[in-house]
Amino acid sequence: MSILTRKYPLWSKGNPVKESLFAFVVVVMVLFFLQPFGISEYEGNKLLLSLAFGVVTFVCGVVLEGLIVVPLQKHVKVWRIWHQASTTLLEVLLIGLCNFLLSCYVFHYPVELSACLELLYWTLIIGVIITILSTMISYQQMMRGQLDTLLEKTTREQEGITVTLHDHRARGDDLSIPLNDLLYIEAQKNNVAVCFIDGDGLLGRKEIQSTLVAVMGEMGDYPNIFQCHRSFVVNLNSITSAKGNSNGYTLELGGGLATIPVSRSFVPKLKSFIS
């Protein structure tokens, strides 16, 4: 159930009119070209009939968003996945009910409660599947978009910044690199391996005598420098993809130059950065 209580990133939500218009186009195309649900036997203009069902879908979507979803979002402090799933399912049921009434009018079916309940029953079963897929796909796309926006902003702000990591050996050479070129730092016994993008765009690597604790202390002013594992510190600006769940993630850095694990204990902090 924890997934249902996750914050749903509303800031990146699309325009409801555009989304309803897209649904309108999909419904019209499917009904006109595939002609399911007895439409193939309809003797009138099949395009007009398909448009009518499309209009029902469009109007239901816009009305539900305007009268219920948007006002709810203004009053609910934190909009979560279960809120989004519930309103999506409600929209599917509303469209199903209105399409039932339209079908009764077009095909001259009697408006019977038993027939309506049966249609809503099957609509609910199909609607649950649609709701799960729609909500989770939208959630992942929005989280990806939110992460991209945050990282783009942070990367832009940190252009031209060079960081110096100190080698604690008596005659060790400190390492200075542009912050945006840093990929990750890995603990190696008494040393740390600093991995970065070199001048040729390849993976560069240098070991210095230090610890992850010392490194985090030296780079504490940069919130995108994130310890994701007991052995790894990553530069979140370099993430190109993130895959996983509440049990752990893997981060792809530098366009595939490296893949780094995120321990389960560090997942909440990673999510708080993204959210």
Mean pLDDT over 226-246 rounds to 83
Backbone angles phi, psi at 90, to 5 degrees: -60, -40
Mean pLDDT over 116-131 rounds to 77
Q: What value does the mean pLDDT of the chain take?
A: 82
Give residue-wise pLDDT tens across range 7-29.
776 644 556 787 788 888 888 89
Residue that wins the pLDDT comparison between 135 and 53: 53
Strands (DSSP E) found in the chain:
162-165, 175-178, 182-188, 191-197, 203-208, 225-229, 232-235, 239-245, 248-253, 258-262
Distance linking the first and last C-alpha atoms of the chain: 19
From the list 70, 60, 65, the residue with the least C-alpha distance to 24 is 60
In the chain, what are the helix, strand and coil shares in percent, each to the nearest 5?
A: 55, 20, 25
Mean pLDDT over 199-204 rounds to 88
User: May I ask the CATH class of domain 160-274?
Assistant: mainly beta
Mean pLDDT over 98-105 rounds to 89
Please answer whether residues 228 and 245 qualify as being in contact, where contact means their C-beta atoms are separated by less than 8 angstroms. no
State if pTM tops 0.85: no
Domain ranges in the chain are: 2-155, 160-274
Q: Percentage of the chain surpassing pLDDT 90? A: 17
Among 126-130, 138-142, 147-151, 164-168, the minimum mean pLDDT is found in 147-151
Say if residue 274's pLDDT is above 70: no
Please answer whether residues 2 and 246 qualify as being in contact, where contact means their C-beta atoms are separated by less than 8 angstroms. yes
From the list 221, 234, 184, the residue with the least C-alpha distance to 206 is 184
Q: What is the identity of the amino acid at 84?
A: Q
pLDDT of residue 14: 56
pLDDT of residue 12: 45
Give residue-wise pLDDT tens across range 30-89.
888 888 877 888 888 999 999 999 999 899 989 998 888 888 888 888 788 888 888 888
Question: pLDDT class for 142, splitting at 50, 70, 90?
Answer: low
pLDDT of residue 232: 94
Q: CA separation (Å) from 70 to 67, 75, 87, 147, 215?
A: 7, 9, 10, 24, 46
Mean pLDDT over 122-126 rounds to 76
Say if residue 195's pLDDT is above 90: yes
Which token pair is 274?
């993204």
User: Alpha-carbon Rg of the chain, whole angstroms?
Assistant: 26
Mean pLDDT over 215-241 rounds to 87
Please answer whether residues 232 and 258 qualify as being in contact, where contact means their C-beta atoms are separated by less than 8 angstroms. no
Residue 168 in 3-state DSSP?
Answer: coil
Say if residue 199's pLDDT is above 90: no
Q: Percentage of the chain surpassing pLDDT 70? A: 86
